[in-house]
Amino acid sequence: SNTALTELQCNSNQLTSLNVSANTALTILHCNNNQLTSLDVSNNTALDYLECNNNQLTSLDVSSNTALTQLYCINSQLTTLDVSNNTALTDFNCSNNQLASLDVSANTALTNLGCYSNQLTSLDVSSNTALSNLECGSNSLTSLNVSSNTALTSLRCQSNQLTSLDVSSNTALIGLWCYENELPSLDVSNNTALTTLNCNNNQLTSLDVSSNTALTSLAFNFNELTSLDVSSNTSLFNLQC
């Protein structure tokens, strides 16, 4: 009977089901922190914002929701997720699921992408040139190409299996977290805006931070460095070595 509803918030209850099939005017739906195992939003074609974090969803079909600009489905049990129809997405976070693959090639408007703590072995973000924030840590990535993502200000790719990382094109980077990988080298000479760099637990034998004069936090524990010159980094207040 509530067909005029445009916004529904039913967070932090014990809902095991939610029927919004009649609510075709919905533009905003929050149903976080429940016990939902399924969620049918196929009739909700006007949806702009969907947040269904912390449920028990094993699947989520958003193919009909072409107006979506923000989608958050963190901490469920999703094994697949197709966002190829959601070309308007600017903010998308599907972290803490069981995704083995993720195709965001159609989502060229994305500025924020979170997909950490999944089972991803690869991630192609070459089409996502508007990305400002990328969080893809705690996966099984062996490579990551961010050369097209020149707008990146924050990159979190920690706890993967990266053997190389080229951030030479990412001159807008302010924060870089690449700890717990297998990096033998890291060139941050072009990243003069960096304020935070955490490259703990890699295989670095050297690290040149002489160009990174804006650094306030630097962590490089558990590497193979024999020396490090931080004489240019006069803004440092947090140094972990």
Residues 6+ apart with CB under 8 A from 79: 58, 59, 97, 98, 99, 100
Q: pLDDT for 204-220, tens place per residue?
A: 999 999 999 999 999 99
CA angle 111, 165, 125 (to 5 degrees): 30
Average pLDDT score over residue span 8-36: 97
Contact in structure between 216 and 235 (CB atoms under 8 Å) = yes
Residues 6+ apart with CB under 8 A from 192: 171, 211, 212, 213, 214
User: pTM score, two decimals?
Assistant: 0.97
Contact in structure between 155 and 141 (CB atoms under 8 Å) = no
Q: CA-CA distance, 62 to 190, in Å (whole number)?
A: 39
Q: pLDDT for 139-185, tens place per residue?
A: 999 999 999 999 999 999 999 999 999 999 999 999 999 999 999 99
Q: CA-CA distance, 34 to 192, in Å (whole number)?
A: 44
Find how far residue 184's CA is from the centre of its chain.
24
* Tokens standing for residue 18: 């939610």
Residue type, 172: A
